[in-house]
Amino acid sequence: MLDIKLIRENPEMVRANLERRHQPEKLELLQQVADADKRWRELTAQVNGLRKRRNDVSQEIAQAMKAGKDASSLKAEASRIPDEINAHESELEAKQAFVKNGLMRLPNLLHESVPYGKDDKDNVVVKVWGEPPKFGFSPSSHAELSQSLGIADFERAAKVTGTGFYYLRNEMALLDYSIMRYAMDLLLSRGYSLIEPPYMIRRSFYEGVTDLGDFENVMYRIEDSENLKDPLYLIATSEHPMGAMLKDEILNADQLPIKMCGVSPCFRREIGSHGKYTKGIFRVHQFNKIEQFIFCLPEQSWELHEELQRNSEALYEGLGLHYRVVNVCTGDIGSIAAKKYDMEAWMADGEFREVGSNSNCTDYQARRLNTRYRMKEGQAPAGFVHTLNNTAIATSRTMIMIMEQYQQADGTIKVPKALQKYMGMKTIEGKLNKMKI
């Protein structure tokens, strides 16, 4: 959420930002918000004047009654004022709601280092690590490999829950947990606190961490929520419960930065098919993820954004996986990020696909969450904190990378050295407690 004062005092800056983002449709919204805010201020002045009259007359009534005088004519006058106030109040509330809603829908200000561009084709590759594996055979997709090894069952998952789900078996289930444990150990060693969050959170908290428009498309709602006005939703990432954790709180500067590493399954209704790489576990309704999340002082966030990036890169490099990093351009970046790096991994068909993203949300998310900081105990809040979030590892997509990059001619898969101690094996051969179904 942007600060309304920025729109009052520096609308040109907000306008230029929308143009850089290629969101001309939002220019009109910006103007509407500015107009509604102006009207809100006029109405506020009028209504406050009426409220003052009401308060004054009520005081006179009190004094008259204390003096034993008749106050009935004053009462008659006073009883007319609430109607006048009500006549304006509904418009006042409507304008206020419009401004708030508009502010929620205007995107964050971009950092100057975000490359200008129209769509994902204009993202700028800033790093390439490793090389594509050289196979003396035609490589298979992870979907084919997992089926032939008998370590995943997509047909029965489709039967039971519909498309977009999976049963992992034996080595692949172990691989899932091994990747999580590997990522947890690395981030713990770098000082991040490990968090297992609630897997569902209330809607009112969700509004603080993400876009309102995402709800009905992306999130699963729990029908049986006890409080129907504020129902529970399954989390789409542990970023959300971690962000919501400090809603309406004020942190002391010496408590910051707060660095967390969340572990949880993620639930998403919208998995977008459109013929894009739909086989296997690339796009699914449920997957496990280790997520990094930071609350920090404004002056710390750009340095920490790079730290998060180094952590992600260390995780993939430790697994020996070929990847690249792109600086997401102005036309492709999400609305809450001021700057975003995407991690893209090489897959067996020779394409790079997104496996994680790293965003500095500056104060945009914190303003929605109302998470502030003060320089010292007892002092008034000095401003909003900055928040950052970064996929450390999404196990589903990391499994794809490992299976497709470490496959061998006989259809088995080498286990990256760093995972062998967690897996208890050096090669995935599909022999562990093999199921005859």
Partner RNA sequence: GCCGGGGUAGCCAAGCGGACUACGGCGCCAGUCUUGAAAACUGGUGCUCCUUGCGAGCCCAUGGGUUCGAAUCCCAUCCCCGGCGCCA
Up-side HSE of residue 129: CA atoms within 13 Å toward CB?
A: 19
238, 264 Cβ separation under 8 angstroms:
yes
Nearer to RNA, 64 or 218 (CB): 64
Asked if 54 is part of the footprint of RNA (rule: CB under 7 A), the reply reads yes
Asked if 41 is part of the footprint of RNA (rule: CB under 7 A), the reply reads yes
Work out how close the CB of 109 gets to RNA at its nearest, in angstroms, rounded to a whole number. 19
CA 71 to chain CA centroid, nearest Å: 59
- Residue type present at position 222: I
Q: Which of 51, 69, 156, 426 binds RNA (CB under 7 A)?
A: 51
424, 411 Cβ separation under 8 angstroms:
no
Nearer to RNA, 234 or 400 (CB): 234
Q: Which of 10, 13, 52, 87 binds RNA (CB under 7 A)?
A: 52
Work out how close the CB of 361 gets to RNA at its nearest, in angstroms, rounded to a whole number. 21
Query: In whole angstroms, what is the distance from residue 112 CA to residue 338 CA?
Result: 9
Nearer to RNA, 4 or 418 (CB): 4
Asked if 355 is part of the footprint of RNA (rule: CB under 7 A), the reply reads no
- Show the site string, 210-229: x = touches RNA by CB under 7 A, - = not: ----------------xx-x
Work out how close the CB of 119 gets to RNA at its nearest, in angstroms, rounded to a whole number. 37
Work out how close the CB of 346 gets to RNA at its nearest, in angstroms, rounded to a whole number. 42
Work out how close the CB of 230 gets to RNA at its nearest, in angstroms, rounded to a whole number. 7
180, 395 Cβ separation under 8 angstroms:
yes
Work out how close the CB of 87 gets to RNA at its nearest, in angstroms, rounded to a whole number. 14
Helix or strand or coil: residue 279? coil
Applying CB under 7 A, the span of 73-81, 341-349, 360-368, 416-424 interacting with RNA comes to 73-81
Asked if 75 is part of the footprint of RNA (rule: CB under 7 A), the reply reads yes
Q: Which helix (H) or strand (E) holds 33?
A: helix 25-66
CA 202, 203, 208, 211: dihedral to nearest 10 degrees? 140
Asked if 6 is part of the footprint of RNA (rule: CB under 7 A), the reply reads no
Q: Which of 10, 16, 19, 55 binds RNA (CB under 7 A)?
A: 55
Q: Which of 10, 48, 161, 163 binds RNA (CB under 7 A)?
A: 48
1, 367 Cβ separation under 8 angstroms:
yes
Query: In whole angstroms, what is the distance from residue 321 CA to residue 15 CA?
Result: 41
- Ordered DSSP codes for 104-149: HHSPPPPPTTSPP-SSGGGPEEEEEES-----SS-PPPHHHHHHHH
Cis omega (within 30 of 0) for bond into 257: yes
Nearer to RNA, 44 or 412 (CB): 44
Nearer to RNA, 370 or 412 (CB): 370
Nearer to RNA, 98 or 165 (CB): 98
Stretch 364-393 residues interacting with RNA (CB under 7 A): 376-381
Q: Which of 19, 49, 101, 119 binds RNA (CB under 7 A)?
A: 49
Site residue total, RNA (CB under 7 A): 36
- H runs (alpha helix) in 285-428: 301-318, 364-369, 395-405, 417-423
Q: Which helix (H) or strand (E) holds 37?
A: helix 25-66
Asked if 232 is part of the footprint of RNA (rule: CB under 7 A), the reply reads no
Nearer to RNA, 96 or 427 (CB): 96
Nearer to RNA, 102 or 331 (CB): 102
Distances (CA, A) of 328 to 102, 121, 125, 260, 309: 25, 10, 9, 24, 14
Q: Helix 25-66 crosses helix 72-105 at what angle (to 10 degrees)?
A: 160
Asked if 79 is part of the footprint of RNA (rule: CB under 7 A), the reply reads yes
- Residue type present at position 380: A
Stretch 246-305 residues interacting with RNA (CB under 7 A): 250
58, 78 Cβ separation under 8 angstroms:
yes
Applying CB under 7 A, the span of 50-58, 149-157, 189-197, 350-358 interacting with RNA comes to 50-58
- Beta carbons within 10 angstroms of residue 83's beta carbon: 8
Q: Which of 61, 92, 271, 425 binds RNA (CB under 7 A)?
A: 61
Applying CB under 7 A, the span of 46-54, 108-116, 334-342, 395-403 interacting with RNA comes to 46-54
Contacts with RNA, residue ranges (CB under 7 A): 4-5, 8, 41, 44-45, 47-49, 51-52, 54-58, 61-62, 65-66, 75, 78-79, 81-82, 226-227, 229-230, 250, 376-381
